Amino acid sequence: MRDQRPVVRVTSPGRPAIHEPLPTFAGTPPFPEAAKVALADPQLRRNLRMATTTIRTKRARAVEECPDWEELRVAGAAIKDDVMARLPELLEQLESNVVAAGGVVHWARDGAEANAIVARIVRDAGATEVVKVKSMVTQEIELNEALALQGIDAWETDLAELIVQLGHDLPSHILVPAIHRNRSEIRDIFRTEMGAAGRPAPADLGNDPRELAEAARLHLREKFLRARVAVSGANFAVAETGTVMVVESEGNGRMCLTLPDVLITVMGIEKLVPSWRDLEVFLQLLPRSSTAERMNPYTSMWTGVTPGDGPQVFHLILLDNGRTDVLSDTVGRQALRCIKCSACLNVCPVYERTGGHAYGSPYPGPIGAILTPQLRGIARHPVDEQTASLPYASSLCGACFDVCPVRIDIPEILVHLRTLVVRQHGWRAAFGQEAGMMRSLGGAFGGPRRLGAAERVASVGGRVVGRSGRIGRVRLPGMLGAWFRARDLRAPAKVPFRRWWRGHARDRDGGGGGG
Q: Are 327 and 336 in contact (CB under 8 A)?
A: yes
Rounded to 10 degrees, what is the CA torsion of 112, 118, 122, 128? Answer: -50
Whether 129 and 152 have beta carbons less than 8 Å apart is answered as: yes
**Of 103, 105, 155, 106, residue with least CA distance to 127:** 155
> Is the omega angle on the peptide bond into residue 382 within 30 degrees of 0, that is, cis?
yes
In the chain, what are the domain boundaries?
158-225, 446-509
Residue whose C-alpha is closest to residue 264's, from 357, 154, 406: 154
Say if CB 153 and CB 131 are below 8 A apart.
Answer: no
For residue 378, what pLDDT is reported? Answer: 87
The H or E element spanning position 243 is strand 243-248
Residues sharing a CB contact under 8 Å with residue 360, sequence separation 6 or more, in sequence order: 25, 28, 29, 31, 34, 372, 386, 390
Pairing of strands 18-23, 4-9: antiparallel
The model's pTM is: 0.85
Query: Looking at residue 467, what is its pLDDT?
Result: 57
* Percent helix / strand / coil, the chain, rounded to 5: 55, 10, 35
Would you state the pLDDT for residue 472?
Answer: 55
Please list, in sequence order, all residues whose beta carbon lies within 8 angstroms of the beta carbon of residue 385, skipping any fewer than 6 positions away.
30
Listed as ranges, residues in the chain with pLDDT below 50 are 1-19, 512-515
The pLDDT of residue 6 is: 41
Cβ atoms of 317 and 265 within 8 Å: the answer is: yes
**pLDDT digit string, tens, across residues 336-380:** 999 999 999 999 999 999 999 999 999 999 999 999 999 999 877
The predicted structure's pLDDT at residue 515: 42
Q: What is the DSSP string of 303-351?
A: ES-BTTBS-SEEEEEEE-TTHHHHHT-TTGGGGGG-----HHHHH-HHH
